[in-house]
Amino acid sequence: MRGGEDMLRVESLRVQQGAFSLRADFEVAQGRRVAVIGPSGAGKSTLLGALGGYVDVADGRVHVGTRDVTNAAPDERDIAMLFQDGNLFPHLTLAQNVGLGLRPALRLSKAESDRVHQALRRVGLGDFAHRKPGDISGGQQSRAALARVLLQGKPLLLLDEPFAALGPALRVEMLELTSEVVRETGATLLMITHAPEDAEQAADDVIFVDDGRVHTPRAVADVMADPPEALRAYLGR
Amino acid sequence: MARNPQPIRTSAFAAPFAAGIVIVMILAALGAVASRADGAVRFGPADWAALRFTLWQALLSALFSVVFAIPVARALARRRFRGRGLLVTLLGAPFILPVIVAVMGILSVFGRTGWVSQALALLGFEPLSIYGLEGVLIAHVFFNMPLATRLLVQGWSAVPAEQFRLVGQLGLPPTVVFRTVEWPVLRQVVPGAFALIFVICLTSFAVALTLGGGPRATTIELAIYQAFRFEFDLGRAAALSLVQLAVAGGAALLALWILPPLVMQAGRDRSPQRWDARTLTVRALDCFWIVLAAAFLLLPLVAVLQAGVFGLFKMPPLVWSAALTSIWVAIFSTVLLIALALPIAASLAHRKRGGLESVTLLGLAASPLMIGTGWFILIHPYADPQVFALPVTAAVNTLMALPFAVRILLPGLRQAFTDYGRLSGALGLHGVALWRIVLIPRIRPQLGFAAGLTAALSVGDLGVVTLFANPEFATLPLQMYRLMGSYRTDAAAGAALLLLALALAMFWMCDAWGRRHAAG
């Protein structure tokens, strides 16, 4: 379909949560930035949770790269994920928080420690290495989380609205930084958003989720120019 | 949206292993005891009397503690005054106060030559005699009324401030406030508090040993000790142990359903401001209950301090070596507690209800003397049990503290899993790294508190050690008991002060560790 190999392949995925069920069947090519949009309760977070290994899958397979990760633990899926909140441990310094991306046991060598500081400088937090999350602003916390993503260097990045609590200007800034991080690590990106302009700014493709149905990705420009009926209703156009 | 499962792995085998140790320690003792209880077991009239007294005193202790606690808690919940915080903190003190120290204080106040008797004598009355049921009840109420009060105050503080604002705005009279706001909390808290105190008092030993005794005031626990120590009648000790296990175990299982959550963290007390109960009579009445409770709790402590200062210089050197032994026992207990409580609590935090919780309650139900007797029987054929006095004493103390520790740790761990479970999973934190980097820092205050509680309980415990003691080996509480028994009152008072200082210091050290750099 598109050039390059598929980084994410979701085959006949089904998630069952009480009366709610989610179905998905799609591929995302390597290096694409995909916005996941849709009404609240449609199943966006459930989809990302299932991909990340936090939600039990009833049926179907998930492949990341060439690996089947359907039953793998969250940290063994080649996936980095940021959540709406709680992306940093409040009792650890930023350097320690970021260092966890390299070594979960936090015993860093000199070289690794240098890389941590380099990553912090990259996101503009060079002077904040020894601060704790409680002492910095929400935008800076997002930067620190992105610095960790940078170090994790996973091929697939999932964002479950980590910037939702930020103001519009800061959100734009974070999306730009995210795009840069993705470009530098060559990662593929899936991010949930509520704002169509976010999708237009920072995504190549759009996945529309509606009432448990996950549509296949389409190029942003195409979708926005000619949205399907359900998306039209959601966007209010 | 449904909540995510917790993709977090502590350790698959640590919790069953820890629970297994607890079960083996108790079951091995039980098996050993049962093996001796075969054949001609006489369960004579004295034993029936012990059973009756055990149940009766536990019932009365629970009743008086709760009935006394209600007006005190009500007064504390609706009054704010200088020293209120201190008083609420003080209500936590009996929990870490060595029993034998409190007994000495109670004797100084209510005993035959105590302050109350002296005052009565001035008025021409007979002095009090508290040995027997009265003494046991006074001591049990001294220890458990504060516990009930804290549970009630905690229950009333949890009532939303809006309700009291509404009450104040409408000017509702106390009877209506009682019916609409206070009664529902009482109905919730009282059965649990009553059950908890009843179970605690069922296995009471040190109080019965020091204030009870004789045919009319012997608990089963004390009867085990006497059968073992004075008659060395293992069969009878075994039979009594089984009765004790049935009684206390049955009660604990019943209580399991109504036990209140134990939030004993000091400094968490934020009562809503109240605008009701403004009349002079009600205020005077509240004042009366607060003063009465404060006097009841403080006077024995003041007596210990006063007598202890003079006694400190009259202590034989044995007291110091006993103090050292006690410190070792406490350290051993605390380390073992942390090793057992953390995996069990972590495993419990994953599920809603589990069999593991009943394992910890075994510690509450199984009598320390039964476990001690069992291990004595087990060790006896192979070695001199007195060689093992220190580890057995320490381990039994751990078992006694375990149910409380697990309940203290559980809410914090649950919170840590909810807040940081996903993130830890995403970063691949598990096993030791998970504990070191995430869990311990998150529950540090609770861990310090639980460890402090264990250390204080262990250092002040006068229980199983009495079975294993010999002239060369004694813990500080036992040494103090011996001094009291040989009427060396001054030296005993000095030892009491030393023991009190040790218990408070150990609690404070652990608790302060927990509060220092407490996670933000």
Tell me whether residue A49 is in a domain.
yes
Tell me whether residue A139 is in a domain.
yes
On whether both A108 and A147 belong to a single domain, the answer is yes
CA distance B359 to B349: 15
Q: Last residue of some domain: A113, A137, A153?
A: A153
In chain B, residues with a C-beta closer than 8 Å to the C-beta of A73 are 7, 9, 425, 428
Q: Look at strands A156-159 and A205-210 and give their pairing.
A: unpaired
Cross-chain CB nearest to A104 (options B5, B422, B428): B428
Cα torsion A48, A50, A53, A56 to 10°: value is 150
The answer to whether A198 and A175 are in contact (CB under 8 A) is yes
Q: Is the pLDDT of residue A67 over 80?
A: yes
On whether both A160 and A135 belong to a single domain, the answer is no
On whether both A148 and A54 belong to a single domain, the answer is no
Nearest CA in chain A to B433: A105
Per the listing, tokens 């009319």 go with B216
CA distance B512 to B220: 38
Q: Coil, strand or helix: which one is A12?
A: strand
Q: Read off the CATH number of the domain in which A163 is found.
A: 3.40.50.300
Q: What part of A 25-44 touches B (C-beta under 8 Å)? A: 41
Tell me whether residue A46 is in a domain.
yes
On whether both A171 and A208 belong to a single domain, the answer is yes
Which residue(s) pair with A63 in the sheet? Answer: A9, A68
On whether both A3 and A110 belong to a single domain, the answer is no
In chain A, residues with a C-beta closer than 8 Å to the C-beta of B427 are 75, 100-101, 104
Q: Is the pLDDT of residue B113 over 90?
A: no
Tell me whether residue A84 is in a domain.
no
CA distance A207 to A35: 6
For B45-188+203-239+261-305, the fitting CATH number among 1.10.275.10, 3.40.50.300, 1.10.3720.10, 1.20.1250.20 is 1.10.3720.10
On whether both A53 and A16 belong to a single domain, the answer is yes
pLDDT tens, residue by residue, B200-256: 898 889 999 999 888 889 999 999 999 888 888 888 888 888 888 888 888 877 776
Q: Which H or E run contains A36?
A: strand A33-37
The answer to whether B101 and B499 are in contact (CB under 8 A) is yes
CA distance A196 to chain B (A): 22
On whether both A36 and A145 belong to a single domain, the answer is no
Q: What angle do CA B399, B400, B402 make, to 5 degrees?
A: 60
The answer to whether B289 and B222 are in contact (CB under 8 A) is no
CA distance B309 to B208: 27
The answer to whether B100 and B479 are in contact (CB under 8 A) is no
On whether both A165 and A127 belong to a single domain, the answer is no
Q: Is the pLDDT of residue B424 over 80?
A: yes
Cross-chain CB nearest to B7 (options A73, A83, A86): A73
Ranges of CATH 1.10.3720.10 domains, chain B: 1-36+315-520, 45-188+203-239+261-305
Domain tally, chain A: 2
Q: How many CB pairs under 8 A join A and B?
A: 77
Per the listing, tokens 């608990």 go with B219
Mean residue pLDDT of chain A comes to 90
Q: Does domain B1-36+315-520 have CATH number 1.10.3720.10?
A: yes
pLDDT tens, residue by residue, A204-222: 999 999 989 999 999 998 9
Q: What part of B 2-21 touches A (C-beta under 8 Å)? A: 2, 4-5, 7, 9
- Residue B112: pLDDT band with limits 50, 70, 90: confident
Residue partners of A34: CB distance under 8 A and separation at least 6: A28, A188, A189, A190, A191, A203, A204, A205, A206, A207, A217
Which residue(s) pair with A36 in the sheet? Answer: A192, A207
- Residue B80: pLDDT band with limits 50, 70, 90: confident
Q: Domain range holding A127? A: 89-153
What is the percent of chain B where pLDDT is above 70?
88
The region of weakest confidence among A166-180, B168-182, B376-390, B476-490 is B168-182
A12 burial type by CB count under 10 A (0-12 exposed, 13-18 middle, 19+ buried): exposed
Tell me, yes or no, if B435 comes closer than 8 A to chain A by beta carbon: no
Q: Coil, strand or helix: which one is A78?
A: coil
Tell if the CB–CB gap between A100 and B427 is shorter than 8 Å.
yes
Q: Residue B256: what pLDDT? A: 66
Tell me whether residue A63 is in a domain.
yes
Q: Residue B89: what pLDDT? A: 82
Q: Residue B272: what pLDDT? A: 62
Ranges A158-167, B100-109, B342-351, most confident: B100-109
Region B253-261: mean pLDDT is 64
Tell me whether residue A106 is in a domain.
yes
In chain A, residues with a C-beta closer than 8 Å to the C-beta of B423 are 83, 86-89
Q: Residue B497: what pLDDT? A: 95
Nearest CA in chain B to A52: B426
Tell me, yes or no, if A169 comes closer than 8 A to chain B by beta carbon: no
**DSSP label at B180?**
I
Q: Coil, strand or helix: which one is A158?
A: strand
Q: What predicted TM-score, i.e. pTM, was given to this entire model?
A: 0.82
Cα torsion A143, A149, A153, A158 to 10°: value is -130
User: Could you tell me which of B434, B373, B425, B372 has the C-alpha nearest to residue B399?
Assistant: B372
Tell if the CB–CB gap between B441 and A55 is shorter than 8 Å.
no
User: Could you tell me which of B423, B425, B519, B442 has the C-alpha nearest to residue A86?
Assistant: B423
On whether both A67 and A163 belong to a single domain, the answer is yes
Q: What part of B 398-427 touches A (C-beta under 8 Å)? A: 419-420, 422-423, 425-427
On whether both A132 and A160 belong to a single domain, the answer is no
The answer to whether B208 and B225 are in contact (CB under 8 A) is no
- Other Cβ atoms within 10 Å of A172 Cβ, number: 17
Q: Is the pLDDT of residue B1 over 80?
A: no
On whether both A176 and A229 belong to a single domain, the answer is yes
Tell me, yes or no, if A132 comes closer than 8 A to chain B by beta carbon: yes
Q: Last residue of some domain: A132, A153, A174?
A: A153
pLDDT tens, residue by residue, B185-211: 888 889 888 988 998 898 889 999 999
State phi, psi for B127 to the nearest 5 degrees. Answer: -70, 160
Q: Last residue of some domain: A136, A153, A170?
A: A153
- Residue B34: pLDDT band with limits 50, 70, 90: confident
On whether both A168 and A224 belong to a single domain, the answer is yes
What is the full DSSP assignment across B492-504? HHHHHHHHHHHHH
Tell me, yes or no, if A83 comes closer than 8 A to chain B by beta carbon: yes
